[in-house]
Structure 1
Amino acid sequence: MPERNIPALRAAIAAHAPDLLADFEANWRAKIADTYDIGAAPAFLARWWGEYALARDPELDRHVRDLEERAAQTADPDKAKALLEEAAQIHGRVSLLGPGE
């Protein structure tokens, strides 16, 4: 993982997960650049830190997306809850990764 700041994260996305870059840039404009809301920067960084952490591990990323898709498609609320909890645990773990990990 890069240094935990927006410019370093953007550079890492551009270099190692370029398929995320357009969404990163669009979200940056919508949440911060166009609104001048620098208070939104910590939430922006947290979201994209996790997105990049998952993108670095395509198998884990596919697993999380599969859990979320299966949760959206099931009619069983208990099953959906279990699937989303598993996905949330993975999101939580990757959000704790530090620079250099």
Structure 2
Amino acid sequence: MQLWWTQYAIARDPGLEAHLHDLEARAATSEEAEESARLLAEYSRLRRAAGAVDPGL
């Protein structure tokens, strides 16, 4: 259920969804391991934050 809620919370915010896709794409194409790790850490942080929002909001 938590995975579903996280996906739903992200889909409700088109700006966040676009930003997450951008982070993921940039990490996948980066030639620097440190940059990829930084981008993926930000991606993970934002997904965790989206999943922590109260589903009633």
Q: Structure 2 length as normaliser, TM-score?
A: 0.92
Q: From the CA coordinates, give the structure whose radius of gyration is larger.
A: 1
Decide whether the 8 Å contact of 2:27 with 2:37 is kept in 1: yes
Percentage identity across paired residues of the two chains = 37
Give the distance between the partners of 1:84 and 1:99, measured in 2 at CA. Answer: 25
**Residue 99 (1) aligns with residue 37 (2):** no
User: Structure 1 runs of 4+ off > 6 angstroms?
Assistant: none
1:88 maps to which residue?
44
**Aligned-partner SS, 2:53:** coil
Partner of 1:47: 3
Q: What root-mean-square deviation, in Å, do the aligned CA atoms of Structure 1 and Structure 2 show?
A: 0.8
Q: Specify every segment of 5 or more residues in structure 1 that has no aligned partner in the other structure, as ranges.
A: 1-44
**Aligned residues of 2:24 and 2:40 also touching (Cα < 8 A):** yes
User: What is the count of residue pairs matched by the alignment?
Assistant: 57
Could you list the runs of 5+ residues in structure 2 that have no partner in the other structure? Answer: none
Q: Report the residue type matching 2:34 in the other structure.
A: D
Q: Which amino acid aligns with 1:100?
A: G
What TM-score do you get using the length of structure 1 for normalisation?
Answer: 0.54
Using CA pairs under 8 Å that are at least 6 residues apart, name the structure with larger relative contact order, 1 or 2.
Answer: 2
Query: Following superposition of structure 1 onto structure 2, how do residues 1-101 of structure 1 map, counting pairs within 5 Å?
Result: 45-101=1-57
